[in-house]
Chains A and B, each alone.
Chain A
Amino acid sequence: MSIATAAQTIGPYWHLLDDPALADLTRFGATGERIELVGTVRDGDGELVTDGCIELWQPSPAADDVFPGFGRCATDAHGRFRFITLKPGPVPGRGNTLQAPHLAINILARGILTRLYTRAYFEGEPLNAADPLLGLIEDPARRATLIARPVGLATWQMDIRLQGNDETVFIEV
C-alpha cells in the first residue's frame, strides 16, 4: 500500500493553465440538448471569488471524439463561471438505483487546500425525488444548493457559496 499524496491549493496563478475554450464542451460540434450552466462563487463573507477554477465532468452523454465530457472555467471579475454543454441524462447508481441527471463539479481556488466537490442537478426533473444523493439531504434549503434553476430558455444557474448560511452542500468522495 502506498499513501496518497497530500493536496495543496491551486493558488492564485493557476491561470497559466487556463484555456477558455475548455468551458465549451460543444466546441467540437457535439449535438444534443445544448445548455448553459452559469453561477457565481462567494466566500464566507459573501465576497466574490474571482480567482477560482471550476471543473465539470459528466458521464452522460458518454464522452466521445466530439464530446469531451470535461470542462474547465475560470471565475471572472464578478465571480462568475459559465459552461456550455449538453444536458445529461440519468445515470445508474449503486444497486438498482437510477441517479437523476446531474453534472459533477470541482471547485479549486487560492485558500482551498483540497478541491471541493459538489453536483449540479436540474430543477423540475422528476427523477430528483428518487435520487440517492439528494435523498440523503433532509433540509430542503440545503438540498436546494445542489439544484440549478432555469434562468433562460436553455440556461441554468447554480451559485456556489463556500461558507455561510446558504453554504453549498459539498460531497466527500
Chain B
Amino acid sequence: MNELALGAFRDRTNQAPPARPSGEAGSLFQRDRSVQPPAYAPGYKTSVLRSPRNALLSLESSLSELTGPVFGHNEIGPLDNDLIRNYAKTGDPIGERIIVHGRVLDESGRAVPGALVEFWQANAGGRYRHKKDTYLAPIDPNFGGCGRTLTLEDGSYAFRTVKPGPYPWRNYVNSWRPAHIHLSIFGTSFGQRLITQMYFEGDPLIRICPIVNTIPDQDAIDRLIAPLDLNASAPLDTLAYRFDIVLRGQRSTLFENRKEGN
C-alpha cells in the first residue's frame, strides 16, 4: 500500500469478492497452545467461572470443522468499512482519524481471500455505543463503532475509523483496557474461526492489561500490537496502523488418507 492509502481504501469498497473454492479443504494444523491464552486465567477474573475444567476432547477435524460459511458482497454495505462515515449524523466523529489495514494469512503464509472481517470498538473517549457501557465518557453522536469487510484476492483488508480511547473496567480496582479494536475473522473453515483484539504501538496500558497478559508468550502479545505505518497514511488526513492476522493452517486436500486418492 504505497499509493495514497486513503485512495486504496476507497477503491476497494466496490471490488467484487474473490472466487473461493467451495467448501473442501484438508485437515487443520495442530493448534499451538503455547501462543494462545488458556481457558482458565485467574488474572482475568471473569475467566474463572467460564472455563471448562475437563480436558477438551481431541477430534480429527471432519467436514463440520473443515468447511465454513461463505460470505458475499451482498452482505456488505458500501460504508461498512468506514466507521468515520457509517454512523455520521451531523459531521465526522471526534478523534484521531486512522486506517487499519493488513492481510489475513494462514500458517503456511497463504493469503485467505474472501474472509469476513468484522470489527467493533469504543469511541475516541473510550465509550462503546452499548447499553451496558456506563463509563462517564460521552457517547459520540456520529460514531457507531462497528463495521465489516471481505478480504481481497491477496488476503488484504482495510478500514477507516477513529482511534479508540482506553477505558476503566472492573477487574482489579484500577484496571484499564488499553486502546483496542475487536476483530472477528471467518476463514475458509469453521475450525479457523478467530476472535481477537488489536492494540496500538506505544500504549503503556498494554503491559499491565490482565486480558493481554492471559497470553503466555511475549512474541504472541507483540503480534497483537499494530505498528504505526506511516507509508500507508494519508498526508494531512489520516494515520495508518498495520495489523496482519494469521489463521490456522490447513492442508490443501480433504481426507488425504482416503485410499482412492484425491
Chain A interface residues toward B at CB < 8 A: 1-17, 43-45, 47, 49, 51, 55, 57-59, 63, 68-70, 91-95, 99, 102, 104, 106, 108-117, 119, 132-133, 136-137, 142, 162-164, 167-173
Contacts and interface: CB of A to CB of B under 8 A. Distances in A.
A8 B50 contact: no
Contacts of B47: 111-113
B52 A6 contact: no
DSSP class of A's interface residues: helix, strand, loop or mixed?
loop
B175 interface: no
B57 A57 contact: no
Contacts, number: 222
Contacts of B63: 59, 91-93, 99
B64 A16 contact: no
Given A44-B49, A63-B69, A137-B57, A16 B145 contact: yes
Interface string B194-227: 1111000000000000011011010111011000
Contacts of B105: 2
Interface of B: 23, 28, 31-32, 35-39, 41, 44, 46-54, 56-65, 67-70, 105-109, 118, 120, 122, 128-130, 132-133, 144-146, 148, 182, 184, 190-191, 193-197, 211-212, 214-215, 217, 219-221, 223-224, 245-249, 255, 257-258
Contacts of B38: 113
A26 to B, nearest CB: 15
Nearest to A47: B49
A170 B40 CA distance: 14
Please indicate which of the listed interface residues A45, A59, A136 has the most CB atoms of chain B within 10 Å of its own CB.
A59
A172 B50 contact: no
A43 B52 CA distance: 9
Contacts of B31: 4, 172-173
A5 B196 contact: yes
